[in-house]
Amino acid sequence: MTVASVAHVVAGAIVAIAYAATDAAFVDGQGTFPFAVGYVGPTIALVLIWARNYVLGAPLYVAATVSTGRFALYFLFVHADPANPFAVGGSA
């Protein structure tokens, strides 16, 4: 296994454990996108790269990684969501 594939599996496991350990809930299909594009897409891309199909694997890996990064940044820092630390209100 390559370093990228090990990092991908470990990061996916961390996200799955964190999601299972909390009562966080995705709404409106928010969970479908990270799973499909953020986990399945790079997995397929890494398999293609491992099989030396760089023409399809490399662009798929870059596209999946960039789109997942944009999704995560939006929901963690822009969208009024419980995961956004700047959107949390209340008094201490």
Instruction: Specify the pLDDT at position 16.
Output: 74
Domain assignment present for residue 13? The answer is yes
Instruction: Specify the pLDDT at position 36.
Output: 81
pTM: 0.65
Domain assignment present for residue 16? The answer is yes
Instruction: Specify the pLDDT at position 85.
Output: 66
- For the chain, the domain total comes to 1
Domain assignment present for residue 89? The answer is no
Cα(39)–Cα(68) distance, integer angstroms: 9
Domain assignment present for residue 88? The answer is no
The C-alpha angle with vertex 31 and arms to 27 and 35, in degrees rounded to 5, equals 170
Cα(49)–Cα(85) distance, integer angstroms: 37
Query: pLDDT below 50 — which residues of the chain?
Result: none
Query: Residue 57: which domain range?
Result: 3-77
Instruction: Specify the pLDDT at position 46.
Output: 86
